[in-house]
Amino acid sequence: MSASNLIRVGGLAAVLAGALLLIADLWSLLLEVIVGGSENFSEFAVTTPWTVLSTMFLLGSLLLLVALVGLYARQSEAAGTLGLAGFLVALVGTGLLVGMMWTMAFVVPSAAIEAPAFLDAEETAGPLDMGFMLSGIAVAVGWALFGVATLRARVFPRRAAIVLIVGALLTVLPLPATTLLIDVAVAWLGLSLLSEQGRSTAETSIGAQPRVQ
């Protein structure tokens, strides 16, 4: 795959990832408001809404990996060492995020049947909580660094980079809807990338046309 095709695929993946994760986050927030504490998590984890929601999160996080590669490919030279560091940390964090979402999609429903008390417990024994926390920190730090490098590289819109930085840092807070900003930022960067690729293709086509003597 050529660099231009990789960048184009990355832009499309960023738009899809941002949109899919944004819808899933809003739906999750809505379900939390509607359902609230009316049922145990183990009961909700075997329902169709959970299956759809967890699948959306998994697909969105997979697309986020592709998006990250495409976004970095577009600004790799301008982003420099900081951009490479941010890319690598974000790549590791997003990879861990995919693992978390896979767990939510496939392990949680099985645990809801075999060990519902485990899912409903406020605290779990062992390293699970620590693993999820460290994974979340890796995602936040990686994407924040990537956002700073993006801001310095000046390849993508400045405001999109700022939203990405703020959104990434907000994800570490134990509050609802903290991931909405980063969803918007990723989709925004993807749209910018696709728009740029479209302009480049149009300019190339015009330049390739024979001149009328």
Reported pTM = 0.89
Pick the closest to residue 55 from 123, 102, 100 (CA basis): 102
Helix (H) or strand (E) holding 201: helix 180-208
Question: Which tens digit of pLDDT belongs to each residue from 51-78?
Answer: 999 999 999 999 999 999 999 999 999 9
Measured CA distances, 101 to 40, 59, 166 (Å):
20, 9, 23
Cα distance between residue 148 and residue 81, in whole Å = 12
List pLDDT tens digits, range 150-193.
999 999 999 999 999 999 999 998 888 899 999 999 999 999 99
pLDDT in tens, 75-124: 999 999 999 999 999 999 999 999 999 999 999 999 999 988 888 886 66
Quick check: 79 and 135 in contact, CB under 8 A? Answer: no
Q: From CA 57, how far away is CA 179, in angstroms rounded?
A: 12
- Cα separation, 39 vs 16, in Å, equals 32
Nearest-angstrom CA–CA distance, 112 and 99: 18
pLDDT of residue 190: 96
Q: Could you please report the per-residue DSSP string of 151-184?
A: HHHTSS-HHHHHHHHHHHHHTTSSSTTTTHHHHH
The domains of the chain are located at: 3-195
pLDDT score at 213: 40
Element (H, E) at 105: none
pLDDT in tens, 6-60: 899 999 999 999 999 999 999 998 888 776 655 688 888 999 999 999 999 999 9
Cα separations in angstroms, 175 against 64, 118, 179 = 22, 23, 10
In the block, residue with structure tokens 């930085």: 165
CA–CA dist 78, 150 (Å, integer)? 9
